[in-house]
Structure 1
Amino acid sequence: MNTKLDNPALILIDIQKGFQDVAYWGGDRNNIDAEKKAGELLEIWRSKKLPIFHVQHCSSNPNSILNERNPGNQFQDIVKPLEYETVIKKNVNSAFIGTNLKELIDNANITNLVIVGLTTDHCVSTTTRMAGNFGYTVYLVSDATATFNKKSLNGEEFSAELIHQTTLASLNEEFAQVVNSEFIKEIL
């Protein structure tokens, strides 16, 4: 395998149909092509037979759009796991808590992680922070992640792009190297 990174794993976080309901999550989002960029990287990983982990948020709240009984829990078609690809089900923000993700990564001697998915300021951020704290070399792909707008405690509206950029700035060079999808394509 001619990769510049040694056996990098692609971790696709919560790219589920429920996140296509923008109104449910706050009315606006950034990076409309995030899932497309994640899908492009997934195809490269598949073609190079590199390790892939699909993370699926399975809310314990029966009314949540991401509860397993609701159609929003399903993966978006653009990144739908193949039968032999690993699916990690979680019900908290980190893909490492209550799952065997770390064990699978360590057993495969993987040290390089490439993270994409939804949402930048929740599950992507929490998983990235833990991955960095575990000592993995983490690449967080800025154009293959996205989030939604938020209201501040005093009701001020914060744009999805502001939330996204602030989260990336908080993670960069401490927990991960924030890069774009073109950078990842070049180092594979």
Structure 2
Amino acid sequence: MRLPADTVLLLVDVQDAIDDPVWGPRNNPDAEHAIAALLGAWREAAMPIVHVRHDSVEPASPYRPGTPGHAFKACAAPAPGEDVVAKATGSAFVGTDLEERLAAGGHTTLVVCGVLTHNSVATTVRHAGCLGFRAFVPQDACWAVEQRDQSGRVWPAETVHALALAGLHGDYAGVTTTAAVLSAVTLTTAFRRRKERRRTAP
């Protein structure tokens, strides 16, 4: 895969609240390591990063501002100068200036990771697709939790995760892996540095 140098890494709802037992069993236990690797690569390449923080308006939500869970997880804590967008719904584009920020920077491509795959990640990616953005979702840098349907059947987190990604792939995003994204960033950085050397050469 190829990524333009202005591709935005969009980290969705990676906050301590997601560790609350209320969510139930999850999949992808190593997702935080993948997220940290992506964030490190973006910082090293000086590519744009946007952290999406969920500010829940539900009184009992672990994502509610003022609660311990509202803080960013250590693996995804914003560095000074990195953009933070606060949302109160599933989509990072609703009630925020995210679309305006992306348009102002001329950004057309997003790599979206975080939680939950079937909730805010999928909602944000679908919205991004409807707005005309090109999106990629590294499947090992996001996770789902088990879900109970209307009949009472409990669907395992891995199944929920896989079906959510299947619904995104093709129409709204390209589902990929962290390794593939990191390789693309390395290639993009190499081409950019080569171009800069040619421009500054005597």
Pairwise same-fold verdict (TM > 0.5): yes
1:158 equivalent in structure 2: 155
What's the CA shift for 1:187?
1.1
Q: Is 2:126–2:168's contact at 8 Å kept on the other side of the alignment?
A: yes
Give 1 or 2: higher helix fraction.
Answer: 2
Q: What runs of 5+ residues in structure 2 fail to find an aligned partner? A: 186-202
- Structure 1 runs of 4+ aligned residues shifted over 6 Å read none
Describe how 1:40-55 pairs up with structure 2 within 5 A: 40-55=37-52
2:166 equivalent in structure 1: 169
Report how many aligned residue pairs link the two structures.
184
What's the CA shift for 1:66?
0.4
What's the CA shift for 1:122?
0.5
Deviations 1:151-174 (A, max 9, x none): 111111100000000000000000
Q: Secondary structure at the match of 1:182?
A: helix
Q: 1:61 aligns with which of 55, 58, 71?
A: 58
Q: Which entry has the higher C-alpha Rg, 1 or 2?
A: 2
TM-score with structure 2 length normalisation? 0.89
1:10 equivalent in structure 2: 9
Q: Secondary structure at the match of 1:95?
A: coil
Identity of matched residues, %: 34
Distance, in Å, in 2 between the alignment partners of 1:148 and 1:39 is 20
TM-score with structure 1 length normalisation? 0.95
Q: Secondary structure at the match of 1:116?
A: strand
Distance, in Å, in 2 between the alignment partners of 1:122 and 1:64 is 15
Q: Is 1:120–1:146's contact at 8 Å kept on the other side of the alignment?
A: yes
2:79 counterpart of 1:82: yes
What's the CA shift for 1:30?
0.3
Distance, in Å, in 2 between the alignment partners of 1:122 and 1:65 is 16
2:198 equivalent in structure 1: none
Q: 2:22 aligns with which of 8, 21, 24?
A: 24
Q: What runs of 5+ residues in structure 1 fail to find an aligned partner? A: none
